[in-house]
């Protein structure tokens, strides 16, 4: 029965992520809470997951991404890269350089 609840939760998450405008973080949290309430996952697993550094790195990246989108900085950077590209090859080269610089 636990496998059925897990697949149901996974399917619902995929459907909500692709067909609605709900925030993906809320959908993911809702599915995890659903799995805890149904007994499929233990509460300790939820709390141990929230203690992981990777989870907080992802939460921080969502916050930074939202801030970049709200301030318009992402759009300005994208327009700068697109305006300097002369063809598709140069566009991909410039995008690769920008992504590499932002990664570090």
**102 within domain boundaries:** no
Domain that holds residue 54: 2-74
N residues, the chain: 104
Per the structure, how many domains does the chain have? 1
pTM reported for the whole predicted model: 0.49
98 compared with 46, residue with greater pLDDT: 98
**81 within domain boundaries:** no
Other C-beta atoms within 10 Å of 41: how many? Answer: 20
Nearest of 71, 69, 6, 16 to residue 36 by alpha carbon: 6
**20 within domain boundaries:** yes
Kindly report, residue by residue over 31-78, the tens digit of the pLDDT: 888 888 888 888 887 778 778 788 788 888 888 888 888 899 888 988
């Amino acid at each position: 029965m636990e496998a059925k609840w897990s697949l149901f939760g996974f399917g619902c998450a995929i459907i909500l992520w692709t067909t609605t405008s709900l925030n993906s973080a809320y959908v993911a949290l809702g599915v995890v809470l659903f799995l805890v309430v149904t007994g499929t996952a233990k509460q300790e697993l939820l709390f141990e997951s929230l203690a992981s550094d990777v989870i907080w790195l992802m939460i921080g990246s969502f916050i930074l991404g939202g801030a970049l989108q709200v301030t318009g900085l992402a759009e300005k950077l994208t327009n700068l890269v697109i305006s300097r590209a002369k063809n598709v090859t140069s566009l991909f080269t410039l995008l690769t350089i920008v992504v590499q610089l932002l990664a570090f």
